[in-house]
Amino acid sequence: MASTSPGYGITIRVEGPPSSQPVALATAVITGAGATITALDVVESLLEKVVIDITCDTIDAAHADEITKAISQKPELTVRKVSDRTFLLHLGGKIEIQSKVPLKTRDDLSRAYTPGVARICQAIADDPADARRLTIKRNTVAVVTDGSAVLGLGNIGPAAALPVMEGKAALFKRFADVDAWPVCIDSQDVDEIVRTVQLIAPVYGGINLEDISAPRCFEIERRLRDLLDIPVFHDDQHGTAIVVSAALRNSLKLVKKNLADVKIVMSGAGAAGTAIARLLVKSGAKNIIGFDKDGVINKQTKSDDVMRTWFIEHSNPHNFAGNISEAMKGADIFIGVSAPNVISESDVASMAKDSIVFALANPDPEIDPFIARKYAAVVATGRSDQPNQINNVLAFPGIFRGLLDANASKITDELLVAAAEAIADCVSPEQLNASFIVPSVFDPQVVTAVAAAVKKSV
C-alpha cells in the first residue's frame, strides 16, 4: 500500500463562491482522492469568492496531477495555481557560503585579506601542515560525483546530480557541523576523475565519493586512497554497510540469533551489496548467498573485477546454484539493495522462524513491507515513511566528524565496524523493538557516539 510523502507535497490555490462552501468541497475531494492535507489557509474571503491554499502530501507526481484534476472537475471550484513544494525548496539551491569573520572596516580587510593574509600564505609555504590549522581544510569535505548512479535514477550526469550533492552538503552541516561542498565532475573516465580529485584535494580534509557506478567506484576509491593523505569514503558502499550492520546487530538481539549461525540471502552485489557483505563477514557472518541480475553468485561465476572476485571467494560456502526463491527457503535474513519486487510473498513465508527482511531498494523496495511484516519478525526499508529506515545519515556525518577531529588520513575496516557498533548502541535495551532497531537520524547522541568511536579507532 503506497503512502503519501512530503517529497511529493503540493500547495493548490482554489477559488469558489461562498455558496458552494469551497473549503469543505475542496478538502473532501482531496482526502477522497487519497492525499493527506497538512495545511489550509484562507487567502481571501469576499462576498463573491473565497480563495484558499490547501497543502497536501501525495503519493507521487502522477497522484499530484490526479488531485489537481479531480478539483478542476468540480464546476464550483477553480484551480488558480499549483505549487510543487519540493521544487520551491530547491529554488536557488540549498546551500550557501558565509564569512566567519567580520568585514566591516579597513582593519578587518587588512587582516582577512591584504596585506595580512600574505603572512598566512608564507607560513603555509614554510610548513604545509599549517594549512589545516589556518584554513578551512580542517573542517571541509568534498562531495564528489560523476552523476553515473544517482539515487534510483541511474546515469543522469553531473548537472542533474547537483541537487543530491547539495542535499548531502546540507546534511553534513546540519548533523555534524562539517562544511561540505558539491564537486560534480563532467567525466566518467576513471583516470580523469582520480586526477581531478587529486588536483583539488589540498582544499579538503576528506573526500566523500557519491553516486558513482560500480565497478568504477571501487577503483576510484582505491586509487585515491593510495594517492591522498586525507580519508576517502564512498558513502554508497560504506555508509550503507555501516547502517545495515548496525540494524542487523540489533535485529539479531531481538530474535536471539547469532550472526555466525544465520543464513543470509542478498539481492544486489554492486557497490552497496559488496560493502555490506564485506562488513558482515568482518563481523562474523559465514553464510551469505548473493544474487545479481544474472542470478546466483557462486564459484562458477567469472570476474576480473577485484571486488567481485572477493564476493565470489567469501560468499556461498556450499556453492548453491538455484534461484532466489529456492535460496529463500529456510533463510534467516534477506537483504535487498537491488530493484523493486524481486522476491514474493511466498518467498518470505518460506524463510526460517523469526526471519529478518531488509528490503532497501528506494523508493520501491524488493517486496512490499506490509506483506513482509505478515511473516518476518523484523522489517526495514530505505524509506522515511516506514519504520526502521536504513539511512546513511546515521553514519557519514559522525564518521567525517571523527576523521576530521582526529586529523586522520586513512579508513580501515575496523573503523567501519566500530561506527556500526556505536550506531547500534544508541538504541537502548528499553527502546529496542521490532519497529525501532536503529536510532532516529535526529538523535543528537548519534553523531557524538560515532565520532568518538571513529577517533578511538584511528
CA distance 64 to 363: 17
CA distance 345 to 325: 10
**DSSP 8-state class, residue 229:** S
Judge whether 204 counts as a catalytic residue: no
Point out the catalytic residue in the list 168, 257, 263, 455.
Answer: 168
The DSSP string of 151-191 is TTTBS--HHHHHHHHHHHHHHHHHHH--EEEEEE-S---HH
Q: Which of 140, 142, 179, 185 is nearest to 161 (CA)?
A: 185
- Rounded to the nearest 5 degrees, what angle is found at the Cα of 184, between the Cα atoms of 178 and 190? 110
Q: Using an 8 Å Cβ cutoff, are 239 and 266 in contact?
A: no
Grid coordinates in use for 348? 518470505
Q: Tell me what percent of the chain is helix, strand and coil, each rounded to the nearest 5.
A: 45, 20, 40
Spell out the residues 6+ positions from residue 164 whose beta carbon is closer than 8 angstroms to its own: 145, 150, 151, 210, 211
Judge whether 286 counts as a catalytic residue: no
Q: Using an 8 Å Cβ cutoff, are 417 and 283 in contact?
A: yes
Point out the catalytic residue in the list 81, 113, 293, 374.
Answer: 113
Return the active site residues. Answer: 113, 168
